[in-house]
Amino acid sequence: MTAHPSAPVEPQGVDTAAGHAPSASFEPLSPLGFLDRARDSFADRTAVVDGDRSFTYAELYDRVARLGGAITRIADGRPVAVIAPNSHVLLEAHFGVPWARVPLVAINTRLSAFEVANLVKHSESSVLIYDPSFAEIAAEVAKELPEVQLISSEDEYEALLASADPIPRPIVDELDVLSINYTSGTTGRPKGVMYHHRGAFLQAVGMMAHLGIGPDSGYLWTLPMFHCNGWTFPWAIVAAGGTQICLRKVDPSLIWEHLRSGAVTHMCGAPTVMSMIAFAREAEPMAHPVKLATGGAPPSPAILRDMDRLGFNVIHVYGLTEVYGPAVLCVWQSKWDDLPGDQRAKFKARQGVSNVVGTTARIVDLDGNDLPRDGESVGEILLRGNNVMLGYLRDPEATAQAFAGGWFHTGDLGVMHPDGYIELRDRSKDVIISGGENITSVEVEQVIADHPAVLEVAVVAMPHEKWGEVPAAFVTLKDGQDATESEIVDFVKSRLARYKAPGRVVFGHLPKTSTGKIQKFVLREEMWKGRERRIQ
């Protein structure tokens, strides 16, 4: 398949007069190399803590090398999928699977069995490594795809490592496919976003630089590791020689237990995670500061004030799966330190400027012309740089559309302030971001439309205090048919992940144009009236 890595490219000593570098001046960029350095420089340091288990960098290297050997033997050169909570197994897979020169497919743990099977099938994965908590989903995948080899992440996984011969780190072409991450597509079909080694290497270095991560850093896993490969932090923390603390579920009590221990210096999460932390009964000001990167929606000034009081240094970021996570960060400037609290919070809630490995972002009008930096002219945000995907797996049409004009089209709408900082205002794509999870309105519409009582349906985002946004469904029923809100919601939950179910169902006729097209903007206005932004 086209996403599979090509044969490794060995750098050669070539004619420098032709503009090429000799082999000593070039090394293909790959985040896998971070583990070589960590083993050589920090062998005895704790690399990962997962409940009662922990591994040093020397031990982590050995386990990864053995996983690479095992995958080489059983994967038949095809991708390997993993469905697991934030754990040492998923962390090891971020190195061990591409160590075998095949892409990693880290699967969203909140998806239904039907959705998981579709992703395994679309990616053509030959192996599914699963945590025992997802045994039922794995069994359903096995029924649908009997040719896929299943490996439980407990005894079977450990036996696999014990029986495997460790292999050296491969030399790769830095544009080989490292991983495939699935994101909701605007057509309702999930798209396989292909990351390359070079992009992951540079994005990881960028995250390390922007967040000030070093050998004494402790990173607490509250961001799902399957989200954009954990925003590349599995590799960034190893690059720095820090310690990764796995948290298998977002539990405020456990989070505060780790925070009080003093071992945590960095973490990431959606604004809803910040709310859970700030309003936990254990919440109290910390003795040491913790940097927390948050994205998905602009955090409110109130939650930013609460987090500041508790000792968190919140860094607002913006990105998408297609750009390895945070492509834009609100880089703080000391001249804002003395501003009144509300004004500081307003500055901190902006999305910011491109990170160090990307090209300066643009805000453009419908014709692709750059808009003035006046904080008022709303246009689409375009991105470009080393931290942009290779494209969508086996979807050249969607790839070409996303890269029209040589820039990645985010589909998000914003303004650029005179100082060059971006602020989101709305989404032009039909995508809803709920608690950090992408939901395409089309896929929810398609399920509701299958209900026998439904004639027409339109789904838009509506604001939600906890999750930021949730779907709202507007439904017209067939003549003589009846359905209740709970029936529609339960029908969606039977087909899709529960978080994709509408938070509200409104029955009635849908507003349309003279040509019969549903006017979604009218429905969005109804849901968001009185708010400055159409994004939360």
Angle at CA 250, nearest 5°, toward 127 and 31? Answer: 50
The tokens describing 447, both together, are 């399920």
Q: Counting runs of H as helices and runs of E as strands, what totals does the chain give? A: 17, 25
Per-residue model confidence (pLDDT) at position 441: 78
315 φ/ψ sector (left φ>0, alpha ψ -120 to 50, else beta)? beta
Domains and CATH numbers, the chain: 1-8+31-36+47-165+176-195 (3.40.50.12780), 354-427 (2.30.38.10), 431-528 (3.30.300.30)
Burial bucket for residue 462 (CB in 10 Å: 0-12, 13-18, 19+) = buried
Structure tokens given for 229: 């490969």
Cβ neighbours, 10 Å, residue 40: 11
pTM recorded for the entire structure: 0.82
Q: What is the pLDDT along the chain (536 residues), one digit of tens a residue?
A: 433 333 333 434 444 445 566 678 999 999 999 999 999 999 999 999 999 999 999 999 999 999 999 999 999 999 999 999 999 999 999 999 999 999 999 999 989 999 999 999 999 999 999 999 999 999 999 999 999 999 999 889 999 999 999 999 999 999 999 999 998 655 557 899 999 999 999 999 999 999 999 999 999 999 999 999 999 999 999 999 999 999 999 999 999 999 999 999 999 998 878 888 998 999 999 999 999 999 866 676 778 888 999 999 999 999 999 999 999 999 999 999 998 877 887 788 788 999 999 999 999 998 999 999 998 888 899 999 999 999 999 999 999 999 999 999 998 888 999 999 998 876 656 678 787 787 877 778 878 988 999 888 888 899 888 888 899 999 989 888 999 999 999 999 998 899 999 999 999 988 875 545 678 778 888 888 877 666 66
Q: What are phi and psi of 40, to 5 degrees?
A: -70, -35
Residue among 366, 363, 365 nearest 383 (CA): 363
Which tokens hold the place of 126? Answer: 């030959």
Contact between residue 8 and residue 171 where contact means Cβ atoms under 8 Å apart: yes
8 Å CB contact between 107 and 226: yes
At 225-257, the pLDDT tens digits run 999 999 999 999 999 999 999 999 999 999 999
Residue that has been written with the tokens 């029986």 in this structure? 163
Beta bridge partners of 290: 312
Radius of gyration of the chain (CA): 23
DSSP-derived secondary structure letter, 188: S
Confidence at residue 187, expressed as pLDDT on a 0 to 100 scale: 52
348 Cβ contact partners less than 8 Å away, ≥ 6 residues apart:
299, 304, 314, 316, 330, 332
**Region at 286 (left for phi over 0; alpha for psi -120 to 50; beta for the rest):** beta
Q: Tokens for 444?
A: 């929810």
